[in-house]
Amino acid sequence: MERKLAGINVVVVGMARSGVAAVDLLRQKGAMVRAVDEKATGEVEGVRIEPQNEAAFRDAELVVISPGVPADLDLLQRVRTRGVTVIGELELAAPFLQGKTIGITGTNGKTTTTALTGHILRESGIACQVGGNIGTPPAAMVASSLPGQWNVLELSSFQLETIQTFRADIAVCLNITQNHLDRHHTFEGYVNAKARLFEMQQAGDVAVLNADDATTVSLADRAPLRTLWFSGTHQVVGAWLDRESIFLDGERLLDVRQLRLRGRHNYENVMAAALVAREAGALPPQIAHAAATFAPVEHRLELVREIAGVNYYNDSKATSVDATLKALDAFSGGLWVILGGKDKGSDYTALREPLRAKAHAALLIGAAASKVADHLDDAVPLVQCGTLSVAVAMAHDAARPGDTVLLAPACASFDQFESYEQRGLVFKELVSQLAEGNA
């Protein structure tokens, strides 16, 4: 049901991509919009950006927050006590999105699985558009949405914690491990935010869950009756991996050696996308062909290039310990691993054994370097580099043919970079400069 917006006073908090898209949609729907941000500069969509203070909310009838804005801010809590509804940009957009929706969440693999799902659907001749936490905000997808078209959305816990009516026809959870405890405070709070995706589903909707992840398995109790599973270890109702083959509904779908994606975690992403695509109408031969032609997403175990026998991989999106563990699992050894950035309340001790087994050294950068070093103890030689440029230069000097330099930080990027994307791009540029120097 569409929310009445014409003529009401709406405050949008946070002027990143989602906030700008929300302002635009609200203006199209006739709302009186005020744009608010901690860094109040300039204007968006013809609306002046105001400081984020009490005065900005004085006559608000609705508040829309961007995913980067904590929902439990004291300022927002005081707004709620006045009876004002606070929603997220996803919740704002949802009633206006035409067509059916696929929602994909999880701690790791969301972006790859979302992009892969869109690729499979398009290659299968099934109309879709892709967005959410990847690329285009939901509010910016409204204008291009059509009946009979699928909206494939990557959804973060930040987006899901504020939904009230949003519903996905097909909901996916890839895995859940500790992450964003600085925002959700407890692991339970983080899990509950993810669970909202399934709690909002209705009879007839479909849940796709990871049978090998205990926390994800528990979401089945909050999902509708129809649940499909994927597993990298055993046969399930859905898709599973048996040695080098992925099976879908009991039939062999493809050999993983056909894929351009690397690592067992990516095979799980392929299985999840295959189940979703089949539910959306794609045929197994179409799914297999499309999966085999899909290239890795930028900043996700992305091979930057090989220099003098050394491979340089960009996994800047590995912003959690679990994501870094998955990256390490994709290699047999010979690693120079760049770790560090902004800590998210993580425990890095789980990295000890895989680093001991596979890495020559850990090159530490950013604000979390000291904490990471304390947690790793003497598991692997530690090199305090401070910055990414120093780490790349030191790895380049030390690596030998057959080695791999891997950026998989296990931390957020916001201490030294604007985003994990910027961090990855800087890494790629640094590697490119090394290449030019060796030409």
pLDDT of residue 414: 92
Query: Is residue 439 pLDDT above 50, yes or no?
Result: no
In degrees, to the nearest 5, what angle opens at C-alpha 228 toward C-alphas 167 and 207?
10
Tokens 């608000």 identify what position?
A: 60
Between 348 and 3, where is the model more confident? Answer: 348
**Measured between alpha carbons, how far is 124 from 151 in angstroms, rounded to an integer?**
15
Contact present, 239 and 265 (Cβ < 8 Å): no
| pLDDT, tens only, 204-236 | 999 999 999 999 999 999 877 799 999 999 999
Dihedral of CA atoms 294, 299, 301, 305 in degrees, nearest 10, equals 90
pLDDT of residue 300: 85
pLDDT of residue 432: 94
Reported confidence tier of residue 437, pLDDT bands at 50, 70, 90: very low
Tokens 């680093």 identify what position?
A: 355
Contact present, 22 and 89 (Cβ < 8 Å): yes
**Beta bridge pairs of residue 104:** 154, 172
Contact present, 411 and 340 (Cβ < 8 Å): yes
| pLDDT, tens only, 29-51 | 999 999 999 887 788 878 899 99
pLDDT of residue 143: 96
pLDDT of residue 134: 83
**How confident is the prediction for the chain on average, in pLDDT?**
93
Classify the phi-psi angles of 148: left when phi > 0, otherwise alpha if psi is within -120 to 50, otherwise beta: left
pLDDT of residue 42: 82
Average pLDDT over residues 384-399: 97
Q: Is the dihedral of CA 105, 111, 114, 120 positive or negative?
A: negative
pLDDT of residue 40: 74
Q: Which domains does the chain have, with CATH numbers?
A: 9-91 (3.40.50.720), 97-293 (3.40.1190.10), 302-438 (3.90.190.20)
| pLDDT, tens only, 359-371 | 999 999 999 999 9
Average pLDDT over residues 249-275: 94
Query: Is residue 184 pLDDT above 80, yes or no?
Result: no
pLDDT of residue 438: 41
pLDDT of residue 76: 93
pLDDT of residue 181: 60
pLDDT of residue 237: 96
Contact present, 342 and 433 (Cβ < 8 Å): no
What backbone phi and psi angles, to 5 degrees, belong to 305? 180, 170
| pLDDT, tens only, 125-152 | 999 999 998 889 999 999 999 999 999 9
Reported confidence tier of residue 108, pLDDT bands at 50, 70, 90: confident
pLDDT of residue 44: 84
